[in-house]
Structure 1
Amino acid sequence: MRSYNEMVVTQMKQMSEDNQQLNYLKNKVVKTEQRSKAVEETLGVITQKLRETMEENIIVRNKAKEKHLEYEKEMKFQEKFFHDQIERIHKATEEKESRFEKLLQEERSKARQSDVDSGSSEDRKLRKEQIERFIDCQVKDVEQFEAERDKLIKLHEEKRVTLKMEYMAKEVELEKDLDAALTLVMDKHKPDIFQASSSSS
């Protein structure tokens, strides 16, 4: 026969240890379930906030696009306004040049049509020389005018090219400034890095 100690006491000790182990495991399961539920609730809240943030970002982006389109439309309107002004100036300049050329031709024509055949031979000779000098002078003056006009147009084109280069350089700088400012804003609002809790108790 086995001893009482062996049959009862040892078995009772074993049952007591098993009970303690069972309670410990039950408590651990409850804690794990509670932690899991808390993580699930937190994840739900974070997911909802993320969804709301994404929706807000879409709204903000759409508003920014609308503003950008408004600015583009305004810029096109301004460009057309200035382009129209420049076109009017060009037309006025062309009309002035046309009137100028017509005036030159009229004066030359007057000189050629003047009556050189009347009066004494000395008068005719003097008038002929006067007409030739007038036409020669006018031809030289026209040549000088064309040279000065070409110089002015060349200088004007150089100024336009310089102005356009300065404008494009400023536009590039403006875009760089925007990029740098957006980078700072993104860095400022960069989300924290999520790290899962590693404690297991």
Structure 2
Amino acid sequence: SGKSRLKYEMRSHNEMVVAPMKKMSEDNQELTYVKNKGVKTEQRSKVVQGTLDVVTQKLRETEEENIFVRRKAKEKHSEYEEEMKSQEKFFHDQIENIHKALEDKEREFERLLQEERAKARQCDVDSGTTENRRLRKEQVQRFIDCQVKDVQEFEAEADQLIKAHEEKKVQLKKEYAAKEVELEKEFDAAFTGLMEKHKPGTFQASNSS
């Protein structure tokens, strides 16, 4: 009876004291582990959040800088367009002045032709001897015929000159257009290379716990 009581008391002590304390210790260790893991997770989340905030701010600043650069580039483009228009007007005015001066020369040329022809027609061919009248008439006719022939030659050569001039203008415009297209291709290639050089990297989320 005494041994049974001792055995019962010992079993009761293990069950009622030792086992619960061991369980409590294990629970406390697990709870501490969970708390530590939670703290680490929270710290990692704060670090990630902080990193994301920094990246977001950098992206926002970069976007603002890009907007500023694009606005400045647009302003520069507008300045270049205004400068080109000013240059085009300057050259256009020069060409117009050349054309007006040439028109004045043509009018003067025509006036001289008419004036000399009028002089020939007003020549007195009815006075003097018969031989003198005949000679003056022949002289006037030769002058008028020569002038008419010369005018015809002038008109033919002027047509050829104008045609050659227009062909040169067309060729010049073609060459300019081809150079402008080539210039745009060079800019496209250079700008494409620039974008490729500064192409953003691919974001990959970390899989570490």
TM > 0.5 fold call? yes
**How is 1:46-125 mapped onto 2 (pairs within 5 angstroms)?**
46-125=55-134
Give, as a single letter, the amino acid of the residue that structure 2 aligns with 1:75. M
Structure 2 distance, partners of 1:136, 1:8, is 147
TM-score by length of 1: 0.92
Instruction: Give the superposed CA RMSD.
Output: 1.8
* Aligned equivalent of 2:167: 158
Aligned sequence identity (%): 73
Larger Rg: 2
Query: Who is 2:198 aligned against?
Result: 189
The residue that corresponds to 2:37 in the other structure is 28
How far off its partner does 1:192 sit? 1.7
Distance 1:166 1:6 in 2: 104
Point out which structure has higher relative CO (alpha carbons under 8 A, 6+ apart): 1
Q: Which runs of 5+ in 2 are unaligned?
A: 1-7
Aligned pair count reads: 200
Output the CA distance in 2 between the equivalents of 1:93 and 1:161: 21
Task: State the alpha-carbon separation in 2 of the partners of residues 66 and 19 from structure 1.
Answer: 69
User: 1:50 is aligned with what amino acid?
Assistant: L
Amino acid at match of 1:48: Q
Aligned with 1:171 (options 157, 162, 180): 180
Supply the distance in 1 between the matched residues of 2:134 and 2:199 (Cα, whole angstroms).
96
What's the offset of the Cα at 1:24?
A: 2.1
Cα shift at 1:6: 5.4
1:145 Cα offset (Å)? 0.4
Report what 1:142 is aligned to. Answer: 151
Deviation of residue 182 (structure 1)? Answer: 1.1
Kindly provide the amino acid, as one letter, of the partner of residue 192 in structure 2.
T
